[in-house]
Homo-oligomer: A and B are copies of this chain.
């Protein structure tokens, strides 16, 4: 990208008006308005762009017609290709932290058929009865917890029995220590703070990895690039259509 803002805008202006195949009639006042600048600046940009071979100008009577050259097309294509490459690349989000012991509540909840069945159906695995608590330590990981939370859209419903209500959770699939399938739960009612994630897996992770409290673990989420390019922006927490209001 060798163009500055105004030069890029000029090319986009012409491209949009079919300036690659037709001369676009350009007046300095109109262009100045479009570029949000003075007529002198607009005129200067055009002169510079013509001198550098990005545009061709031709006077027909008192009207100025401007065409884009191949050089412009190449410049725009290149920028587009660069953006495409990096924006359409899936985003790998890493959460790192240290294992700690909870009160054993996780095991109780995951064992409840109501939750277990939903996890089987919606996440595609039969969960080991227990959650692994991970205390996120780095700035990146804590930020990433929030980021990943925006994409955690698998909804595990809560329920009510005669004694109490059981809260729901949002979940997202992830990879544990780059090898095992797991899911991060965003539990509606949790007494943990923003620096903790709770992880479930078909595998007994503590056993498989011989984990003791304080040991470091890594959970990786791959966010689809499509979310960025398709919607034009990242999704919001309040996707009313997918998740019920809580």
Contact = CB atoms under 8 A, between A and B. Distances in A.
A125 interface: no
Interface stretch (A71-79, A108-116, A126-134): A71-79
A82 B229 CA distance: 11
A15 interface: yes
B70 A234 contact: yes
Contact of A21 (B67, B91, B233): B91
A114 to B, nearest CB: 33
Contact of A228 (B18, B73, B91, B139): B73
A233 B70 CA distance: 8
Nearest to A80: B83
Bin the interface of chain A by size. 35 or more
B58 A147 contact: no
Interface stretch (A1-9, A43-51, A197-205): A1-9
Interface of A: 1-5, 8-9, 12, 15-16, 18, 20-23, 58, 60, 65, 67, 70, 73-74, 76-84, 86-87, 91-94, 139-140, 143-144, 147, 228-229, 231-234
Contacts of A67: 140, 143
Nearest to A95: B21
A233 B82 contact: no
A160 B86 CA distance: 53
A18 B58 contact: no
A2 B20 CA distance: 24
A77 B229 contact: yes
A10 to B, nearest CB: 11
A228 B74 CA distance: 8
Contact of A16 (B86, B147, B228): B86
B73 A234 contact: yes
Contacts of A23: 139-140
Contacts of A81: 229, 232
Contacts of A4: 4-5
A92 B18 contact: yes
